[in-house]
Amino acid sequence: MTGQQHQRPDGKGVVASGRPPHPPGTEPSGAVEHVGPVYDAELIDDIPPNGQHQQHPSRWCRWWQWLAARWRGSPRVPLWLKDRTQLTQAAKDALAAVLTSPVRFAGAVVRGTVTAGRVWRRWVSVADYRQAAEEAGKLADKYTDIRALALFRWKVTGAALAVAALAVTWSVLLSDDRLLWLVGGALAVVLAVFGRRRDGQPGRRQALAGPRSLTWTMDPHILVDAFRDARLIGKDETLRLVDRPTRQGHGWAVTLDLPATRKAVDVLKHRDALASALAVDEVQLVVERVRGTGGHAGRVALWVADTDPYDTPPKRTPLRDAERWDAWQPVPFGRDARDRPVVLPLVWTSLLIGAIPRQGKTFAARLAASGLILDPHARLYVADFKAGKDWDAAQAVAYRFLSGDDHHHVLALRDWLAELVEHVQSRYRRMRQLDDATCPESKITPAMSRDPALDMPITALVIDEVQVPLEDRTPVTVDGQRLPTGERIGELLTWLAKKAPAAGVVLILATQRPDSRTIPSGLRAVLGSRFALRVMDWRDSNIILGEQMNTRGHDASRLLAAHKGVGILRPDGDTTSGEEVATTVRTYYVPGDDWNALCQHGHTLREAEGTLTGHAAGHHHTPRLDHAPSVAALASGHGSSGGHEADNVPEPLASVAAYLADDLDSEHGREFVPTAELLDALDTDATTFARGMHDLGCQPVRRRIVDQDGTSRQVRGYRTADIHAALDHHGGGKDDG
């Protein structure tokens, strides 16, 4: 051993002391250098003072933790004893109750006096006896008895008043004011108790069941009346408070339980009616369904803002102060009505941004790209078909960049897409050769995206005004066939949106023409994240956000024109917006100076990491590409046609199949499509369309649908199962091979 060990007197451990293995100045024959004493010992716990152990305090701590857990989890313990915020609000409510108690007591006395007078009037007039006789048809026979009983009750009233007058006179003569005060106080208390507002009594408004709260805004009676006025509950139904109203931000928040027969989704659908009943604008009312362990289908959370939450200057993006960003982290996108931050995940999904002009879609697209710009390992393709200078600063970081709306710009985008298709296929081939530790699930990982040897960085394709290339009708030859350039670009984008996210390729598409003809239905169906700023019609909102989103309370056509940058975000992935399918968001503001500084900082980061390539590095020309790989990829059945060979299907069935591609191929697609919707989408004559569909074996049926205002009506239309069967019969079914 290189040291000496000494046993402790208590036998609890061993301490060690050491000395140099050789005397100073005497080294062994080998070339060994002396480095000091070497100790051999083992670690022991510190001994408490006076040799006492800490068993009792640890047991006490464990007992206290167990008691606290039981206290917090017990449903019998009031919520204000579990949560500090609720306790603070309860204290405020108690203080408000004390301060307003004189006024409330006086009001209760007045109500008790009026109620007592009404009760006395019914008693002295024998109203109950008279009503029973009238219902039995024996009023004439009982008239004498009723009159005699009424006269007797008047005599009793007179006698009582005489006794009361004598008692008052006697008290005055005795000059005992204390007795008068005692009698008057007792009478006032009796009248106040008699006049208190109790649920279900005549002449009193229905109040909320559950914990009561006195707040200046979220009055329980107003809430009940508002829900009844909006026809969300019946006249004989009431609500129940889950927890007392509290201040959250610049508004009041409350959680309610609906009656057993009511659903929270109905409140979401009729949010505008509830806002009207509460006398606030729709943007001031936020309605959310409470999900998870603490929620159920009939529990809703309301938040009512004091003023318009979007009538303030927008906040600048926090990324302007960020040193760098990780593309795998959600990007700070904006803030909701409660001023809570909202983030947008980008990896493994794609984003569609739609709006009418001058609503802020370019700023939203730049926000989404900002996080990728600050990641030196990310690669960007930027195509600006607005032909302005909004994206010029991105040339400092872009791997590919173009700005213009001519046909040669559209062809350049087609070459980019073919390049990305080939690159995605190459990534998947290389993933198959990697071991499970490096690539566990045939998906790109953060380590893979930052490995220069693998060449699989997170790649974003940003296209502003994507309707320009998609509407290009100039014919091009693909595999011996001529088709419009826009259709070819739509097929390539659809293939990338389907297969590229798992390989680390992200699509960010912005358009000011969010109609069914501009964005193919097959492409829209595979874009996971949607952001709709203000549009002109609820149909345009549904095109961006998804079918039936307006019936779930999310309609971008209801946004105010003055609210620039405010839109409805339907994200795909983990966000901070809870369980809600969509959230109204005010995006952060990225002015020109912040945008330029951000792009220059991204250029500096890429120079430092050695990842500055492509256009940003001075290579402004895209090499000529072989389009054979992309043609083969689309021909293998992964294109935008959804597996239906439209060339073998007669019209109008082929056009219907193209319009309903996502519904026909998806397990969760619609089962019924109204005829009016098909006529509007295909712009055809009703008689010709009906005759053509009949000849191809599709018979219309009648079904009931729910409009955006919640009303139900019966319409004619076609079942998607019949359309699918007709496609199979006419050679347009899916290829089994």
The reply to whether 110 and 224 lie within a common domain is no
User: Looking at the domain assignment, is residue 712 inside a domain?
Assistant: yes
Average pLDDT over residues 570-577: 63
267, 239 contact by CB (below 8 A): no
Position 104 pLDDT exceeds 70: yes
What's the total number of domains in the chain? Answer: 4
pLDDT above 90: percentage of residues in the chain? 20
pLDDT score recorded for residue 29 = 42
| Confidence at 387, pLDDT banded by 50, 70, 90 | confident
pLDDT number for residue 574: 52
**pLDDT at residue 365, rounded to an integer:** 92
Max avg pLDDT among 261-265, 521-525, 732-736: 261-265
Does residue 339 share a domain with residue 228? no
Rounded Cα distance between 180 and 189, Å, is: 14
Residues 447 and 595 in one domain: yes
Which residues contact residue 267 at a Cβ distance below 8 angstroms, ignoring those fewer than 6 apart? 232, 258, 274, 287, 300
The predicted pLDDT at position 241 comes to 84
pLDDT of residue 698: 86
Residues 176 and 128 in one domain: yes
pLDDT digits (tens, 9 = 90+) for 294-309: 788 899 999 998 888 8
Is 16 inside any structural domain? Answer: no
Domain boundary among 567, 601, 628: 628
Q: With both helix axes pointing from N to C terminus, report the angle between 139-174 and 84-124 in degrees, rounded to the nearest 10.
A: 110
Instruction: Determine, yes or no, domain membership for 59.
Output: no
- What mean pLDDT comes out for the span 420-438? 89
Same domain, 188 and 228: no
Instruction: Order across the sheet with 672-674: list the strands.
Output: 672-674, 712-719, 701-706
**Contact (CB, 8 A) for 575 and 342:** yes
Residue reference for tokens 């083992």: 42
Q: What is the mean pLDDT of residues 4-20?
A: 44
Mean pLDDT of 233-262: 86
- Regarding whether 477 and 420 lie in a shared domain, the answer is yes
What's the whole-number average pLDDT of the chain? Answer: 78
Q: Are residues 725 and 599 in the same domain?
A: no
pLDDT at 670: 77
Separation between Cα atoms, residue 383 and residue 362, nearest integer Å:
12
What's the burial of 463, exposed, middle or buried (CB within 10 Å: 0-12/13-18/19+)?
buried
What does the H/E/C string look like for 465-506?
CCHHHHCCCCEEEECCEEEEHHHHHHHHHHHHHHHCHHHCEE
**Domain-located, residue 49:** no
- The yes-or-no verdict on residue 366 having pLDDT over 90 is yes
Is residue 459 pLDDT above 80, yes or no? yes
Query: Does residue 648 register a pLDDT over 60?
Result: no
Q: What is the pLDDT of residue 173?
A: 73
Q: Is residue 312 one of the residues assigned to a domain?
A: no
Question: Which of 14-18, 245-249, 533-537, 615-619 bottoms out in mean pLDDT, i.e. has the lowest?
Answer: 14-18
Q: Which residue has the higher pLDDT, 732 or 71?
A: 71
**Residue 38 Ramachandran class (φ > 0 left, ψ -120 to 50 alpha, else beta):** beta
Interval 480-539: pLDDT, tens = 778 888 888 998 999 999 889 989 999 999 998 766 677 777 788 888 899 999 988 888
pLDDT at 448: 92
Both tokens assigned to 58:
């640890």
What token pair was written down for 149?
A: 């009983």
pLDDT bin (cut points 50, 70, 90) of residue 40 is: low
Residue 417: pLDDT band (50, 70, 90) is very high
Domain containing 436 equals 318-628
Report the share of the chain in percent with pLDDT over 70.
77
Q: Are residues 510 and 591 in the same domain?
A: yes
Residue given tokens 């076609």 in the structure block? 718
Q: 718 and 601 in one domain?
A: no
pLDDT at 167 over 90: no
The whole model's pTM is what? 0.62
pLDDT class of 440 with cuts at 50, 70, 90? confident
Say if CB 521 and CB 494 are below 8 A apart: no
3-state SS class at 235: coil
DSSP letter at 209 equals: B
In CATH, what number is assigned to the domain containing residue 273?
Answer: 3.30.980
- Give the end of a domain, one of 284, 305, 326: 305
Decide if 31 is inside a domain.
no
**Contact in structure between 367 and 587 (CB atoms under 8 Å):** yes
- 271 with 333, same domain: the answer is no
551 and 618 co-located in one domain? yes
Q: Is residue 29 part of a domain?
A: no
Segment 70-77 shows an average pLDDT of 64
Mean local confidence (pLDDT), 347-359 = 88
Q: Is residue 301 in a domain?
A: yes
Q: Are residues 414 and 563 in the same domain?
A: yes
pLDDT-derived band at 33, boundaries 50, 70, 90: very low
Q: Of 245, 280, 305, at which residue does a domain stop?
A: 305
